């Protein structure tokens, strides 16, 4: 379940400067990206090379953070970012947040829709920094205290498959708020958002149309055997980048009871695409419906989680044990089930 995108937010008590690029901005910025297509390394998307500019490298950023050189980082802030905070204010914030000479550990780096995303933590994993870069300018930066949860140690009893075939991209997923915004909420803590990415983009042509997104209309599959206990199928799909449906957060949804106190919830289906009904006994890999953009969603994607209740908004999310012992994290490409059962 993704939050609607906003241009920027004010400095907050959680030590965050936040500004994520809008779809329109990403579409404009992708024309400035340089020549090579993205490649996969260690499960992450390699960054685009930008033409005719001095590359703002992950190594430089890591060095400036280690040195707590707020002035150097600030010099790469976009104009909008500089409206949010002064150089002195940001430098003070960084000095108070990061220990001197502490070496940042890079956990993810990828490019998506024209924006690069870096995430770094301290060695103990107790603090992290998210940075977004467009055209060699820092357009978003968050300093985040990180907290491990005891529930991390209690995965699902059942092993589940991924709810799709082919290769998808992890838009949100992992066990901290740096890589998975769901983690802050017990009812969604171990949820995943999956999209399809090709050559560094999740769409082609007009980014304001659902049909432009590679994920839209793709098959969504049952992650395990069970019984369907809840279906919603009549909610309109949102326009990408527009107003999300916060009144019906899940949008079109299928909930499966696996018979062991574990319930799979799959959300944001395309309107009228769900092909199962309440009471159906289903098998792993069976077709449930098509990926859509309904509910609290800003672009077509699959939201998947396992909970201890058929109501994922009221239950507690459980860390998913996936087949082949995979542990998806934001920024990775992952391969889905081998085939679907019609």
Domains identified in the chain, total number: 2
Question: The tokens of 40 are what?
Answer: 């996969």
Model confidence at 43, pLDDT cuts 50, 70, 90, reads very low
Nearest to 191 by CA among 286, 338, 315: 315
Whether 5 maps to a domain, the answer reads no
> What pLDDT was estimated at residue 46?
29
Give the domain CATH number at 29.
3.10.450
> What pLDDT was estimated at residue 282?
97
Angle ∠(322,325,327) on CA atoms, nearest 5: 75
* Mean pLDDT, range 49-58, rounded to an integer: 59
Measured from the Cβ of residue 120, the count of other Cβ atoms closer than 10 Å reads 23
Model confidence at 66, pLDDT cuts 50, 70, 90, reads very high
Q: Who wins on pLDDT, 46 or 153?
A: 153
> What burial letters (b/e) apply to 182-204, b meaning 16+ CB within 10 Å?
bbeeebbbbbbbbbbbeebbbbe
Beta strands in 69-150 (DSSP E): 105-112, 115-121, 127-134, 137-145
How far is residue 173's CA from residue 304's CA, in Å, rounded to a whole number?
A: 10
Model confidence at 311, pLDDT cuts 50, 70, 90, reads very high
What is the value of pTM for the model shown?
0.85
Whether 11 maps to a domain, the answer reads no
Say whether both 131 and 257 belong to one domain: no
For residue 256, pLDDT over 50 is answered with yes
Question: The tokens of 144 are what?
Answer: 């985040």
Give the domain CATH number at 312.
2.70.70.10
Last residue of a domain, one of 114, 145, 176: 145
- Signed CA dihedral, 6, 12, 14, 17: sign only: positive
CB 57 within 8 A of CB 90: no
Whether 203 maps to a domain, the answer reads yes
> What pLDDT was estimated at residue 338?
80
Angle ∠(159,166,168) on CA atoms, nearest 5: 80
Last residue of a domain, one of 145, 165, 188: 145
Beta strands in the chain (DSSP E): 16-17, 40-41, 44-45, 105-112, 115-121, 127-134, 137-145, 155-160, 167-172, 192-195, 219-221, 226-232, 252-257, 263-269, 281-282, 287-290, 302-307, 317-322, 333-335
Say whether both 141 and 196 belong to one domain: no
CB 322 within 8 A of CB 251: no
Say whether both 120 and 178 belong to one domain: no
Say whether both 127 and 77 belong to one domain: yes
* Mean pLDDT, range 227-255, rounded to an integer: 95
Model confidence at 191, pLDDT cuts 50, 70, 90, reads very high
> What pLDDT was estimated at residue 38?
30
Determine the structural domain holding residue 102 and report its residue range.
Answer: 16-145
Model confidence at 141, pLDDT cuts 50, 70, 90, reads very high
| CA-to-CA dists, residue 128 to 96, 188, 218, 272, angstroms | 13, 20, 34, 41
Last residue of a domain, one of 129, 145, 161: 145
- Signed CA dihedral, 184, 137, 73, 116: sign only: positive
Average pLDDT taken over every residue of the chain: 86
């Amino acid at each position: 379940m993704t939050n609607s995108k906003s241009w920027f937010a004010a400095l907050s008590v959680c030590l965050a400067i936040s500004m994520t690029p809008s779809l329109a901005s990403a579409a404009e910025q992708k024309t400035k990206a340089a020549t090579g297509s993205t490649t996969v390394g260690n499960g992450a998307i390699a960054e685009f090379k930008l033409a005719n500019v001095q590359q703002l490298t992950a190594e430089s950023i890591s060095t400036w953070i280690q040195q707590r050189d707020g002035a150097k980082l600030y010099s790469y802030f976009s104009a909008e970012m500089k409206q949010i905070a002064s150089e002195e204010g940001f430098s003070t914030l960084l000095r108070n947040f990061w220990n001197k000479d502490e070496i940042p550990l890079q956990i993810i780096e990828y490019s998506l829709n024209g924006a690069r995303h870096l995430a770094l933590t301290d060695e103990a994993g107790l603090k992290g920094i998210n940075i977004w870069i467009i055209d060699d300018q820092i357009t978003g930066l968050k300093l985040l205290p990180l907290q491990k949860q005891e529930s991390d140690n209690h995965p699902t009893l059942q092993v589940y498959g991924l709810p799709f075939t082919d290769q998808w991209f992890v838009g949100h997923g992992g066990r901290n708020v740096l890589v998975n915004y769901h983690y802050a909420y017990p009812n969604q803590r171990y949820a995943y958002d999956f999209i399809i990415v090709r050559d560094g983009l999740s769409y082609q042509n007009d980014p304001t149309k659902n049909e432009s997104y590679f994920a839209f209309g793709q098959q969504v599959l049952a992650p395990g055997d069970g019984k369907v206990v809840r279906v919603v199928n009549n909610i309109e799909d949102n326009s990408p980048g527009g107003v999300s449906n916060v009144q019906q957060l899940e949008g079109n949804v299928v909930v499966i009871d696996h018979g062991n106190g574990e319930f799979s919830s799959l959300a944001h289906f395309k309107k009228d695409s769900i092909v199962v009904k309440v009471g159906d006994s289903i098998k792993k890999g069976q077709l449930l419906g098509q990926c859509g953009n309904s509910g609290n969603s800003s672009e077509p994607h699959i939201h998947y989680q396992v909970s201890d209740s058929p109501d994922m908004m009221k239950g507690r999310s459980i860390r998913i044990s996936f087949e082949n012992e995979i542990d998806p994290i934001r920024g990775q490409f992952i391969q889905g089930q081998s085939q679907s059962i019609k």
